[in-house]
Amino acid sequence: MSSGPVLVEQRLRSAGLAVVLALVLAVFINFGVIFTNTTDGNAVPTVALVVSYSVLALLFAFFLLAIRIVVRVVEVPQGRVLEILYGPGGLVRQVFGPGQLQSASAQDLSFMEMGGWGYRGSLKFLKRAALVTRRGDALELSLAKKRRFIVTVDDPAAFVTALGFGT
């Protein structure tokens, strides 16, 4: 999507999130090894193996996405957009374009106000979501259809200004 210059960009401090996911992944792998290597000679049901390997693959995908998270404002022909790139090389992108953005503001929020650590909520179903890697300074977006998105960044005022909502 980014076809123009990057106006402001920040890589989020997501190492802690990646470490937690890696630990959960390691524990799940250990339990999977124990579970599949039964010593009593009984075969492990195929459904249990499929479910356990599916969960393992899902955890690995979340780990890859949490390794690198970049938030940036990009100038495109339609206007300015906020992009959030997840994973190495931006495997997954979340884009908030001019048609969606109604306002942006800088906030100082606690974990409780943001819903906790990690990606919380759903813009589609709950009409609010937050990408939280720490407490404190955050960029709050008011979106079309009464939706709200929050992302923690070091200098939210720079993002507000870059999006064209600053004074």
Q: Tell me, letter by letter, the H, E, C secondary structure of 44-99.
A: CCHHHHHHHHHHHHHHHHHHHHHHCEEEEEEEECCEEEEEEEECCCCCEEEEECCC
Better pLDDT: 89 or 40 = 89
pLDDT category at 74 given cuts 50, 70, 90 is very high
The residue ranges of every structural domain in the chain are 6-12+68-162, 15-66
Look up the pTM and report it.
Answer: 0.74
pLDDT digits (tens, 9 = 90+) for 40-71: 556 566 666 677 777 777 777 766 666 778 89
Better pLDDT: 2 or 138 = 138
Backbone angles phi, psi at 96, to 5 degrees: -115, 105
Check residue 65 and give its pLDDT: 63
